[in-house]
Amino acid sequence: MSVPASFSVPERILMGPGPSHVPATVLGALARPTIGHLDPEFLALMDQVRDMLRGVFQTQNQCTLPMSGTGSAGMETCLVNLVEPGDRVLVGVNGVFGTRLAEVARRAGAEVTVAEGEWGRALDPAALEKAAAGRKYQLVCVVHAETSTGVLQPIEPIRQLADRLGALLVADTVTSLGGVPVQLDARGIDASYSGTQKCLSSPPGFSPVSFSPRAVAKLEARKTPVQSWYLDLSLLLKYWGQERVYHHTAPINSLYGLHESLRLALAEGLEARFERHRKHAAALAAGLSALGLELLVPAAERLPPLTLVSVPRGIDEAKVRKYLLEEFSLEIGGGLGKFKGNAWRIGLMGASSTRRNVSLCLTALGQALAAQGHQASVSEALAAAAAV
């Protein structure tokens, strides 16, 4: 075979559901010299990553580490470690990733009860309690930030429900970690998983997870082995802890990048970071409304890092995304599941959450819509955003 030329990639403005823009210092960290995964310097870096992850998760959980794999690996980690065959698991489903939680729990051997909610709305705790039918459960699972719909789920009433059911609480924080408060300890979340490519603005490839002491106790009391050897936290903690027992060759350079992205998040300050995401999401929402576009999630339930937008009647949504990519090198996402073909998902995550990106997106979207005959004033949209 012929040897291909060295590849090159275009520079994109990433405003989809992930990945987000990766800062230059994170890219620079990725290029540092590779050393061994048991090198003392690398082990020290691992400890710093765990400490910073606790800070971003807002927890004191000792069982906090980045799993080698994307967010779905973190989902599997939580469920295969906490579920034994026959365990009852209650899953709230109001989007694609709630559906995936239920499927992974089934494959882990759980007896799964699904509480269906409206896509584009937060789950109703009363509906979950009704689905529970008065039985006890080992786990209650919800998506804190539903990436397919842009809904932010209130956690406190779900925690209260889990207490009544005698259950641990598992939360998907893939699109919330680093963008909105997660507060594992304050909210009583027993197990959580996330992804690095969203609000942390690191390349995809790690899924941070955190287990409370109660979740660790359930893991330690298992009567059956964890289904997955690779995702078995009882083994991984011996590598990430003081014993340093070899488990697998960690993605060394990727961990350099995660270290830098966590450092940037904490240097900015979590409260300032959360406010930045909130402010730019509010500005984007105002501008989109001025363009005559409908936001499908009620304001009180919107996830600041991800906005779900209805496609106007007569508009080809895929052509709009193609226009943005070709004319502005700007990426937004299409809808998933029930919103496939009739919605866009616009991300303002991590380093992508900037005033400049809000203005660019409104300008580009206004022109793309105009190209298909949808009349809207870009200047009015920009003014509405600037007012926020």
Alpha carbons 292 and 124: distance in angstroms, whole number: 30
Q: How many residues does the chain have?
A: 388
For residues 21 and 12, what is the distance between their CA atoms, to the nearest angstrom? Answer: 8
Bridge-based pairing of strands 145-146 and 151-152 is: antiparallel
The predicted pLDDT at position 375 comes to: 87
Is pTM beyond 0.85? Reply is yes
Going from the first residue of the chain to its last (388 residues), give the mean pLDDT of each consecutive group of 10, the final group possibly shorter: 92 98 98 96 97 98 97 98 98 98 98 98 98 98 98 98 98 98 98 98 98 98 97 96 93 98 98 98 98 97 98 97 98 97 98 98 97 94 98
Closest C-alpha to 139, from 163, 113, 168, 112: 168
Phi, psi of 265 (to 5 degrees): -65, -45
pLDDT of res. 136: 98
User: What is the residue-wise DSSP string for 119-182?
Assistant: TTS---HHHHHHHHTT---SEEEEESEETTTTEEPP-HHHHHHHHHHT-EEEEE-TTTTTTS--
b/e string for 230-261 if b means 16 or more Cβ within 10 A? bbbbeebbebbeeeeeebeebbbbbbbbbbbb
Which residues, in sequence order, are CB contacts of 374 under 8 Å at separation 6+? 292, 312, 314, 315
Which residue segments constitute the domains of the chain, with CATH numbers given? 24-266 (3.40.640.10), 271-387 (3.90.1150.10)
